[in-house]
């Protein structure tokens, strides 16, 4: 897993989680869903990249 991909995955997770929490605080369900999707995409990117990384096994 390249360093750039690790950074993208972590950034998507952090931004998505933050966005989701802020959206829930201001009662914006659509924005919360977008934040959750971004967080999930970051987790999936991390999973995909760690599965292809021979040093993570």
Q: Specify the higher pLDDT residue, 56 or 17.
A: 17
Q: Specify the higher pLDDT residue, 11 or 56.
A: 11
Residue partners of 10: CB distance under 8 A and separation at least 6: 42, 46
Is residue 56 predicted with pLDDT exceeding 60? no
Question: CB count, 10 Å around CB of 7?
Answer: 10
- Determine the pLDDT at residue 8: 87
- Determine the pLDDT at residue 53: 66
């Amino acid at each position: 897993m390249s360093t750039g991909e690790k950074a993208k995955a972590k950034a998507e997770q952090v931004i998505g989680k933050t966005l989701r929490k802020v959206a829930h605080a201001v009662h914006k369900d659509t924005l919360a869903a977008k934040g959750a999707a971004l967080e999930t995409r970051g987790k999936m990117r991390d999973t995909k990249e760690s599965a292809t990384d021979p040093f993570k096994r």
